[in-house]
């Protein structure tokens, strides 16, 4: 799922890279990232909307991480396992249009169960 074919392909590629190599380095940035780079030109560019910054700040604090940190994806997963709950999606992401599909909640559930990132089919 995503905003365009190009967005979906980019997201799938990044997701797959993390699945294949959990020791991939991640730098936590404030604002648009490598997923947002492929947000289509059509429609409102919401990646710099204040709601998104707030949501990012809430979830980062919740999982004990800070902007600017550089760490392995597996360490981010470890913090998710320690501090996040599937129900956080309902509160932190209350206004997100993707929330009702349930995939983000399932994603957290899988990480808590030690299954890592979901396979994209």
How far is it, in rounded angstroms, from Cα 33 to Cα 27?
10
Apex CA 45: angle with CA 36 and CA 51, to 5°?
85
Q: How far is the CB of 55 from ligand SF4 (least distance, A)?
A: 6
Give the rounded distance of the alpha carbon of 114 from its chain centre.
17
Query: Dihedral sign, CA of 75, 115, 102, 44?
Result: positive
Find the binding residues for ligand SF4 in span 20-49 (CB under 6 A): none
| Residue of 26, 35, 60, 104 that binds ligand SF4 (CB under 6 A) | 104
| Residue of 26, 47, 71, 93 that binds ligand SF4 (CB under 6 A) | 93
Position 98 contacts ligand SF4 (CB under 6 A) = yes
Q: Which residues bind ligand SF4 (CB under 6 A)?
A: 55, 89, 93, 96, 98-99, 104
């Amino acid at each position: 799922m995503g905003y365009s074919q190009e967005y979906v392909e980019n997201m799938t590629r990044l997701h797959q890279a993390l699945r294949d190599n959990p020791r991939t380095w991640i730098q936590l940035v404030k604002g648009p990232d490598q997923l947002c780079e492929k947000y289509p030109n059509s429609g409102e560019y919401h990646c710099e909307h204040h709601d998104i910054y707030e949501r990012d700040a809430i979830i980062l604090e919740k999982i004990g991480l800070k902007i600017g940190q550089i760490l392995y994806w597996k360490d981010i997963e470890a913090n998710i396992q320690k501090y996040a709950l599937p129900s956080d999606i309902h509160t932190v992401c209350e206004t997100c249009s993707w929330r009702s599909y349930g995939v983000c909640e399932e994603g957290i559930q899988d990480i808590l169960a030690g299954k890592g990132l979901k396979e994209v089919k």
